[in-house]
Each structure stands twice: as C-alpha cells, then as structure tokens.
Amino acid sequence: MPCRIAPTTLSTNSVVLRVPIHSLQPIIRNRCSSTAQNHDGNHRVGIKHGLHSRVSQTHVAAHAQHAVGGATSDQGTNTVKVGLYIAGWYAFNIVFNILNKSCLNVFPAPWFLATFQLCASAVFMTVLWALGLQQRPKVSKELILALIPVAFFHTVGHVSACVSFSQMAVSFTHVVKSAEPVLSVILSQLVLKETYPLYVWGSLMPIIAGCSLAAIKEVSFSWGGFNNAMISNLGMVLRNVYSKKYLDEFKHIDGINMFALLSIISIFITAPVALIMEGFKGGVYQWGGMADAATEALGGNFTLFMRMVIASGIFYHLYNQASYMVLGQGISPVTFSVGNTMKRVAVVVSSVIFFQNPVSPMNWVGSMLALFGTGLYSAAKQKASEQAK
C-alpha cells in the first residue's frame, strides 16, 4: 500500500520551520518500507502464532479426548474383571457344594473332609507364596495371638456346616445359613455394644419367616442338621465379631492372606478333634473302613473317590479366594452382600437340580423369602452405617 504524506510544518517550541516535501521523500520512503516490512512481518508472525495456537489446541483436545477414552476404557475393563471374578466365585461355590455333598453321600466323614479342605487351602496358599504369585504376609507373635480366637470360631463355622451338609439337603442347609444376620445383629449388640435402628431389626423378619416356611415342608429336615447349620451361623458371626474386635490393627494384611492364616491355625484346632470325634471313634480306627465303603459305592474306583475328595479341597479354596478377589475390586459392602445372596440362590437352585431333591411350593416360597430378607438386611445395615457417620 503506497504511503502518502502531505507537506508538513514542523514546530519546535516557538520556532516554526517550513520543510520542503521533496527533502523528506527519502526518509518517508525508508519509513514506509520499514513499516510495510514490519506490518508484513507482524502479520506473518501473527499467522504463525495463530497456526501454532490452533495446533496446540488441537493437541490438547486430542490428549483430553485420549484421556477420557482411556478412563472409559479402564472403567470398562474393571467392570469386565469384576464380572469375571463374580462368575468364578459363583461357579467355584456351586461346584464345591456339589462335590462336597457327593463326597459326604458315599463317605460320611464331615470332620475328615472339613480338615482336609483346610489343609488344601493351606497348601494352595503356600505354593502361591513360594512362587511369588501372592505376597507373603508379615507374621508376628501379636498377630498369631489375635488370630487364635478368630480361627477357633472359623473352625466351628466350617466344621458345623460340613456336618449339617452330611445330615440334610444342601439347599435347605443354605436356607438355614441365610439366617446368619439374625445372630449377627444380636451378638454385635451384646459383644461390641453396637445398636441398630428399628428398620434393621425389621429387615430380619422376612428371614425368620422364610426359614420357618421352608422348614415346614422340608423332606430332608432333621434337628441335627438344623442345629449344626445354626451352630455354623453362630461360629461365622463370632468369627466376624472377634475379627472386628481383635484384628483392626492388622489391616495391612489383605483378605486372602488373612484367610490363609486362619486356615493354617484352624488345622491345629480341627485335626486333633477330628481324630477323637471321628477317626478313632470308640477307640477303633474308622476312616479306613469308611474309605473302603466309599470306594465300593463308586464301583470299586478308589481313584475316583480320591479325585472327588481332592477336588472338594481345591474348590473350597478357590471359591473363598474368588470372594476376596471380588472384594478387592473396591465394590461396596451392599453390592457384595447382594452378590452373596444371589450366590446362595444359585447354589440352592443348582443343588436341587443336580441332586433332584423334592421341593414343595412352600419350600420355594420360604427359601426365596429368607434369601430376599438377607439382601434386605444388607441394604438396611449399610444405610444404618452411613447414617452413623
């Protein structure tokens, strides 16, 4: 663009100078050229800066989009992982219950099986620790002393459940075990001095009513089986209560390692009692003759019998480990409790189908009502915990 300047009068204080325009033309031409170059340079710099800014914004947007996409992808991956863990937890538990009851049908030695399952869990965890697949816990004298009462109640809960399974149908034992929250509320108040609002107590009513209805028409019902299932509930509740009382300072140990340590200590409690109660009952060795009878019941196939026993131990550990892996994914206690309730439903239905147990309509109504009450209790207890904060 041409630069045009009119004839100019230069004033310096009171002196007025008249400068001919032709004398200023070289200066004007240089100034115009410089201005044009500066304008063009600034324009180019501006364009370059604008392009750089747009490119930078594009990169930022791309990174932001990638980050959002990555977060969504991670969330989706975690959801899939939780789903797989829950599926494994359900599957392992169903298989364990079927194997356990199948073993007890031909080899009615619940004390032996319970002890063997604890041993299988201990061996399984020892292998994981040795191979570095699971971090070894730091064990101290204080931890062992704190674990002993908890392990005792763990032993009572596990052995009593196994005895109950030998006396009643798997499905009905699980219905009775769904009454565990009733004892949990009562004993938590007595031992830990915890109080619960009325709606938590009210959530227990469907459990009590459901268990009562299911018991009325239960073909396999026996008082021995019912009592052992309730003793199992008592043992598991006291295990949880005393875990809360004594193990709060050992929260650095994860759930699966804590379960392994409980299993190992429980072996030393269970094995001597098993030998007295069952192995040498009446002063005569019993397990050998019982194993022979089991082998005969399986068509003389001792290998099959041993496989069933070993598999029951392996799946006992797997379903417990899977449950801790589910908890390790950061799901809420209510979600886990609902998942546990639905798992019990799956076990009840699968065992009825597999063993062809006769179940009346009242059995189904009572069973489902009791299991529904368990889920309702879990939600009520979680709400009470949140309100107490």
194 phi-psi bin (left φ>0, alpha ψ -120 to 50, beta other): beta
Instruction: Give the per-residue pLDDT at 221.
Output: 83
Residue among 358, 285, 309, 280 nearest 106 (CA) = 309
Residue with token string 């598991």: 236
Buried b (16+ CB within 10 A) or exposed e, 52-82: eeeeeeeeeeeeeeeeeeeeeeeeeeeeeeb
pLDDT of residue 8: 43
What pLDDT does 218 receive? 76
**Local structure of 244: helix, strand or coil:** helix
In angstroms, the CA 165 to CA 154 distance is 17
Q: What is the pLDDT at residue 7?
A: 45
- From first to last of its 389 residues, the chain has per-residue pLDDT tens of 444 444 444 443 333 434 444 444 444 444 444 444 444 444 444 444 443 444 455 554 555 455 455 555 666 677 788 888 889 999 999 999 999 999 999 999 999 999 999 999 999 999 999 999 999 998 999 999 999 999 999 999 999 999 999 999 998 898 888 888 888 888 888 887 888 888 889 988 988 888 888 877 777 788 999 999 999 999 988 888 888 777 778 878 888 899 999 999 999 999 999 999 999 998 999 999 999 999 999 999 999 999 999 999 999 999 998 888 887 776 766 677 777 778 888 898 899 899 988 888 888 888 888 888 888 888 888 888 888 77
One-letter amino acid identity for 228? N
Q: How far apart are CA 234 and CA 100, in angstroms?
A: 21
Q: How far is CA 125 from CA 6, 25, 135, 137, 265, in A?
A: 98, 97, 10, 11, 13
CA count, 13 A, side-chain hemisphere, 21: 5
Cα Rg for the chain, rounded, in angstroms?
38
Give φ, ψ of 255 to 5 degrees. Answer: -60, -45
Angle between helices 170-177 and 205-216 (to 10 degrees): 160
The model's pLDDT over 69-96, given as tens digits with 9 standing for 90+, comes to 555 566 667 778 888 888 999 999 999 9
Distance CA 377, CA 212 (A): 17
State how far the Cα of 110 lies from the Cα of 316, in Å rounded to an integer: 14
pLDDT for 44 equals 46
Q: How many CB atoms lie within 10 A of CB 204?
A: 22
Nearest-10 crossing angle of helices 302-327, 21-106: 150
**Is residue 94 a contact partner of residue 347, using CB atoms and an 8 Å limit?**
yes
List the Cα angle 231/269/179 in 5-degree steps.
15
Mapped onto helix, strand or coil, the DSSP state of residue 138 is coil
Closest CA to 150 of 218, 248, 15: 248
CB count within 10 Å of CB 383 equals 15
